[in-house]
Amino acid sequence: MNAFPKDSAIILVHGAWADGSCWNNVILPLQRHGLKVICAPIPLTSLTDDIAALRRALERTSGPVVLAGHAYGGAVIGAADETRVKSLVFVAALAPDEGETVSQVFYRGEPHPDAPKLIPDPHGLLWMPEEGFRRAVAHRASADQISIMAALQRPIALQCIDEASPVPAWKTKPSWFLLAEDDRMINPKTQSFMADRMGASIRSEHVDHTPMYAEPHLVIEVLLEAARETLSR
């Protein structure tokens, strides 16, 4: 018997240099629990554009929703003011407050020695150096998976990280935070600061920046915890 209300859904929002395929390892397990799963395709062209894309994904659902965001995707789900959104899950994610930019919170802490140096191209786009995937983005993932990530990467526009954020939904909605202790992209101390600030239920694990690859069961467990505690409210 399905433990969740009718038409319950989880919407997964990817981060920079990625697409919905970064959630491949968590989609089927969530569906087996009776949840509708949507990977929201955000364009990575501006924070405003990405928030609009998430709203379009929400329009494809009719029941209660849990939103999950990885890395930059945390800033996107933070803007979700839809009443059907019952909770937010941040996976090694960025969670700017009102008026803050993604870059402000990203650079709040000291960078890891293996963090890549990111320089915009002439079009105002940031690409991840291939070595950056192996050393920082997903250094615990398999070599094959890292090669695939580098091949399918999508750049993120400077407008995404330099645009002021709206009032965040985590001020009024229950939130969970999977804190990546071995993150080389977002300083774990910065993650702790953001999670504490939002009053999130924190699960701290020794995982890398993209735990959906090497430790998907942890991501699934946090998502299901949020779903069980909030979708029936």
DSSP 31-95: HHTT-EEEEE----S-HHHHHHHHHHHHTT--S-EEEEEETTHHHHHTT---TTEEEEEEES---
Q: Half-sphere exposure of residue 80, counting CA atoms within 13 Å on the CB side?
A: 35
CB atoms within 10 A of CB 196: 11
Q: Taking residues 26-43, report their average pLDDT.
A: 97
The model's pTM is: 0.97
The candidate with the shortest Cα–Cα distance to 195, out of 64, 88, 39, 115, is: 88
Question: What is the Cα–Cα distance from 148 to 104, expressed in whole angstroms?
Answer: 30
From residue 114, alpha-carbon distances to 49, 69, 75, 104, 133 in Å are: 31, 23, 24, 20, 10
pLDDT digits (tens, 9 = 90+) for 93-129: 999 999 999 999 999 999 999 999 999 999 999 999 9
The candidate with the shortest Cα–Cα distance to 93, out of 26, 151, 152, 16, is: 16
Q: Where does the pLDDT of residue 81 fall: very low under 50, low under 70, confident under 90, or very high at 90 and above?
A: confident
pLDDT digits (tens, 9 = 90+) for 5-33: 999 999 999 999 999 999 999 999 999 99
* Tokens of residue 22, six digits: 């970064």
Question: What is the Cα–Cα distance from 34 to 71, expressed in whole angstroms?
Answer: 26
Give me the amino acid identity at 66: V
DSSP 149-205: HHHH---EEHHHHHSPP---GGGTS-EEEEEETT-SSS-HHHHHHHHHHHT-EEEEE
Q: Where does the pLDDT of residue 3 fall: very low under 50, low under 70, confident under 90, or very high at 90 and above?
A: confident
pLDDT value, residue 39: 98
Is 50's pLDDT higher than 60?
Answer: yes
Across the chain, what does the average pLDDT equal? 97
* % residues pLDDT > 90 (the chain): 97
pLDDT digits (tens, 9 = 90+) for 174-198: 999 999 999 999 999 999 999 999 9
